[in-house]
Amino acid sequence: MPDTRRNTAITQRIATWFDNAQRDLPWRRRVNGHTRDPYRALVAEFMLQQTQVSRVIEKFNAFVERFPTAASLAAASEDDVLAMWSGLGYYRRARMLHRCAQDIVNRHGGKTPSSTAELEALPGVGRYTAGAISSIVFDQPEPIVDGNVARVLLRLDGEQIQPGLTSTAHWLWQRADELVKRADRAEGASPSRFNEGLMELGAVICTPRSPECDDCPVASLCRARKQGLIDSIPAPKPASKVATLHHDCIVIEDSRKRRRVQRRDDSGLWAGLWQPPSLERPARAASRREIESWIGAPVERIDAFDHTLSHRRVRFRVWRTTTRPATLPPGHWRTRRQIESLGVSNPHRRILLEM
């Protein structure tokens, strides 16, 4: 089949499949039955970066109910935004979304722009997010490439090229651009339905392991399937080294059962979030004697657990002191209800609210 006819068939089949098979996700719901809300799409794209869909579903509705417009998000305090983001991780995204909303209000009158150039000029918005919003919301023929899209495109064309290389990224964006422009011209397809269908296909059918090829709308056009290369495309990425950090956290309560909390620095891991007083080391955990010397009071260990991030493993040990420390760590006293309204990472929330 000539490339033009094959490309047309790919875009038509994926768009039609998406019409019938798409999941009911809260950010896909349309305003007045026919248009997507660009602000809600922007929030969803920020949330979905490096976070599972199931986790985003749990947080999305509450977030947009609290901040229903870019103006309401822009006017909120950073602490309020981080508190509503709690549980999603990668908190830098929340700060960038907050700045993004402020930019939309200050430079665009509160309306999310439609062009990729204007979108990419917003804080925290890169090529993928700009292309996703301009194509999915505004039906513009702009390419998108994320992990799911990359896997589908590489398998469709049987490309055994190494992920992570600049040359591979160039090929992927060029191929995505070629297809979305074909979707803009092909009868029965459109940039919006094709691009979102491409992402959906990678998420639910063309998965990394055990893809459901029998249910794939473009199985007959897939060169990797024809050549028996499904399991080897894309090639596995080299394993990255995971560093281990050691965090010793102290649960301190006053006579009113309030707990001591402190705000982390504005840079680094969990920047700007709240935590119990903590002693952190990159090489080894502190000894009990070192912890008691630091806190100025005897301690007892009540828990230990690991929390794994993308390139780091944080080994937590949790201690309690029932004696008022000789030198109270910097911070504030907060009730459990007050802690629930703070921006707190998942492991620190576990320590402060469940122990």
Active centre residues (catalytic): 45
Q: Which of 156, 173, 309, 161 is nearest to 237 (CA)?
A: 161
Q: Which of 233, 231, 237, 200 is nearest to 217 (CA)?
A: 200
Percent of residues in the chain assigned helix, strand, coil, to nearest 5: 50, 15, 40
Beta carbons within 10 angstroms of residue 109's beta carbon:
10
Q: Which residues contact 232 (CB under 8 A, 6 or more apart)?
A: 160
Structural contact between residues 321 and 340, judged by C-beta atoms closer than 8 angstroms: no
In this structure, the strands spanning 312-321 and 300-308 are antiparallel
**For residue 274, which phi and psi values (nearest 5 degrees)?**
-100, 150
Amino acid of residue 141 = P
